[in-house]
Amino acid sequence: MKADINILGIETSCDETAAAVVRNGAEVLSNVISSQIELHQKYGGVVPEIASRAHIEKIYPIVEQAIEQSRLNKSDIDAVAVANQPGLTVALIVGLTAAKTLALVLEKPLIAINHIHAHLQSAMMDTKDLQLPAVALVVSGGHTSLYDCENILELKLLGSTIDDAAGEAFDKVASILNLPYPGGPSIEKAAKDGKADAISFPRTMLAKDSLDFSFSGLKTAVLYHCCGKDMKGGNRVGKMSPKEIADIAASFQAAVVDVLVKKTRMACDKVGAKTILLGGGVAANTVLRNELEKMAQRTGRKLLVAPKKYCTDNAVMIASLAYYKYKANLFADMSLEAKAGCDD
């Protein structure tokens, strides 16, 4: 194998069109992202058809920009990697089609990447001494999952959400509180002026030993708090003071973080984890990062968290994980398909 392996990564699983070139799994030569937040803001969430059209418009200019910024020739690219699952099928197809085309034209191998696993790679990229086994927590708009990480390429699902993902709950509660989309940053900002124990929102733990998550009940509790259990009085948020809204945001955020930390601790104890990995969009939340760090220190474990710039969807994580699949000769063929679900 040649000394340096340069991989072009492509990511279009939801509402970011991204491409990056990464050398040897860790050296980022380029990182280009086109966000669609403004397109979806007025809808309070991602509209698949709008996302797909935006990806079609942006994908090739973004890829060209990523290669240009890397200062490599196209012939220097050793493989093309793409997220083919999970995500919005109509969005994934755009990136997958582009990746297949480039792989054919450049006569380079194609590498299929699980978008969720790639989020965890963001937390491991700069680590030289990864202590295994590890428990990996992915928290995003569409996913809240715990994994037993035996090595970089082998992840075993321990638990996942049975209804709303944590990020989805943040978006929905932000909508209830008339806060801007995306909900995660809006809730965190509002919560800074509130008291985390102002309102006793529920912590749904499910069965005694369950490592699954459920945030639907918490979201409903916030709705009832704002609108009344009979829902006849309408949303009172417009009549609330900024302090009341801040208290709701802080109390909701505390409830989510409490469950995430407790479940992660349970998973660590179950598998004897030495390390905790945290990735995904909600991993940018400062309270979650701080509380997981406290738990890790109390229990003698090391916490590795994705840098905030790599918490949201990006192609650096795609290309980085693909390096290890390249070394293992794990290539895909042109029959590769986009999958909305996840092969955990």
Strands 6-11 and 134-139 turn out to be unpaired
Query: Tens digits of per-residue pLDDT, 288-315?
Result: 999 999 999 999 999 999 999 999 999 9
Q: pTM to 2 decimals?
A: 0.93
Q: Residue 82: which pLDDT band, with cuts at 50, 70 and 90? A: very high
Enumerate residues 6+ apart whose C-beta is below 8 A from 77. 6, 7, 8, 21, 67, 106, 108
Query: Tens digits of per-residue pLDDT, 247-283?
Result: 999 999 999 999 999 999 999 999 999 999 999 999 9
Inform me whether the pLDDT recorded for 167 exceeds 90: yes
pLDDT number for residue 342: 76
Query: Tens digits of per-residue pLDDT, 120-151?
Result: 999 998 787 789 899 999 999 888 999 999 88
Inform me whether the pLDDT recorded for 334 exceeds 90: yes
pLDDT number for residue 344: 60
Work out the mean pLDDT of the chain and round it to a whole number: 94
Inform me whether the pLDDT recorded for 1 exceeds 70: no
How many degrees, rounded to 5, is the angle at CA 101 between CA 48 and CA 279? 50
Q: Which residue has the higher pLDDT, 193 or 40?
A: 193
Query: Tens digits of per-residue pLDDT, 40-76?
Result: 888 888 898 999 999 999 999 999 999 999 999 999 9
5 phi, psi to nearest 5 deg: -115, 115
Q: Residue 39: which pLDDT band, with cuts at 50, 70 and 90? A: confident
CATH 3.30.420.40 fits 130-307, yes or no: yes
> Matching CATH topology for 6-120+311-327 and 130-307?
yes
Specify the fold of 6-120+311-327.
Nucleotidyltransferase; domain 5 (3.30.420)
pLDDT number for residue 37: 83
pLDDT number for residue 129: 79
Closest CA to 296 of 276, 266, 317, 316: 276
With a pLDDT cut of 90, the percent of the chain lying above it is 86
Spans of all domains in the chain: 6-120+311-327, 130-307
Q: Which residue has the higher pLDDT, 125 or 32?
A: 32
- The first and second tokens of residue 109, run together, are 């191998």
Q: What is the mean pLDDT of residues 91-103?
A: 98
Three-class SS of 151-210: ECCEEEEEEEECCCCHHHHHHHHHHHCCCCCCHHHHHHHHHCCCCCCCCCCCCCCCCCCC
